[in-house]
Amino acid sequence: MKVSREQMAENRRRILDVASRLFRDKGFDAVSVAEVMKAAGLTHGGFYGHFSSKDDLVAQTLAHALAADTVGGGDFHAYVGSYLSPRHRDNAAGGCPTAGLAAAIRHQTPAARSAMAEGLRAQIARIDKALPQSDPAHRRRAAIGSWAAMVGAVILARAIDDPELSDEVLEQTRAWIDSSVN
């Protein structure tokens, strides 16, 4: 039975959404193509109609996930508060793809690393646009520094087994960013 273009596009989007959650939750190496396809409600055989390999899936999933990761409504301080929250920290599968996958990217293909670089450029540009400073050089420096601090704080907060220190990392990073960009 032939599948319509619309259904193919929907299947592809579903595969990318499922792969994004699984990769963020478990890491690239712990997730198989069969697991992605099963979670998407599709057969393993249909995978190659969408992707040439798992490496291709990884790269395209990164591009897909990073394109959806945005500064909410242009309100930078609200975005920082939401990003540096226990709720975000505790939801790796549904959280930021950069914080969830950045450390593992260095072991991936050039296409995956390129997708991460493009996502980084786009996020820096979105933050830059949301910041109140008028000087472009200062705004870009603040955007890069804020994003690096946010991602690093979430990675560190997720990595430790001390809930109080984890919360403190989030709180103090949020306070530092708030005082730095005003």
CATH number of the domain that residue 25 is part of: 1.10.10.60
Q: CA 128, CA 148: separation in Å to the nearest integer? A: 13
Q: Which residues of the chain have pLDDT under 70?
A: 1, 69-74
- 28 & 77 share domain: no
Question: Residue 82 has which token pair?
Answer: 């939401």
The rounded Cα 118 to chain-centroid distance in angstroms is 12
Element (H, E) at 152: helix 136-159
Q: CA 134, CA 45: separation in Å to the nearest integer? A: 53
The vertex-89 CA angle with 86 and 91, nearest 5°, equals 110
Q: CA 121, CA 101: separation in Å to the nearest integer? A: 16
- 87 & 34 share domain: no
Task: Tell me which residue has tokens 């949020």.
Answer: 174
Alpha-carbon distance values, 124 to 38, 155, 161, 164 (Å): 35, 18, 30, 30
Which residue, of 58, 75, 90, is where some domain finishes? 58
- 95 & 152 share domain: yes
- 126 & 163 share domain: yes
Q: CA-CA-CA-CA torsion for 118, 122, 124, 126, nearest 10 degrees?
A: -170
- 80 & 28 share domain: no
pLDDT in tens, 172-182: 999 999 998 87
Q: Give me the pLDDT at residue 74, please.
A: 67
Domain containing 14 equals: 5-58
First to last CA, the chain: 59
DSSP string, 50-100: T-SSHHHHHHHHHHHHHHH---GGG-HHHHHHHHTSHHHHT-TTTS-HHHH
| CB half-sphere exposure, 47, CA atoms < 13 A | 21
- 15 & 86 share domain: no
- 92 & 171 share domain: yes
**Domain containing residue 139: CATH number:** 1.10.357.10
pLDDT in tens, 12-34: 999 999 999 999 999 999 999 99
- 96 & 159 share domain: yes
* Total domain count, the chain: 2
Three-state DSSP at 1 gives coil
- 23 & 86 share domain: no
Which residue, of 14, 39, 58, is where some domain finishes? 58
